[in-house]
Amino acid sequence: MLEQGTTSTTTSTPKSGPAPRPQPVSAPEPSASGLTQSADQALQSLGVLYNAVDGVLQKQVQERPYTTLAAAAGVGFVLGGGLRTSFGQLLVRMSVRAFGPPLVNTVLHGVLERAGVGTLADPR
């Protein structure tokens, strides 16, 4: 029942169900021998990478044991969530203040030398 002076705004549209989904274009099925060959190549690549990293780390441990220990401790600190602590944030601020200006200076000098501008005079 409609009251006098009001109009109905509902319209009925035929419901035709969901639109048909487009079918994905499928790649040809790889053969079992192709998958086995790809897996063997991936394992060989991982083995080569592992041997290379192992060699580099062994060399670093022998030549610079304390530097390697400090790097491992730093990585463990970061992965363990240490940067979220107030001590971690203090370390980041101190590191940026200590190493930021020399790093920016070195990068700028490199960019200027590549651009052919020359070097900047030391402001000290």
Q: Which residue has the higher pLDDT, 121 or 87?
A: 87
The percentage of the chain sitting over the pLDDT mark of 70, rounded to a whole number, equals 69
pTM for the model stands at 0.40
pLDDT at 25: 58
Distance between CA 69 and CA 39 in Å, rounded? Answer: 35
For residue range 24-69, what is the model confidence (pLDDT) as tens digits?
656 556 567 778 888 889 999 999 999 999 998 899 889 999 988 9
In the chain, where are the structural domains located?
51-80, 86-117
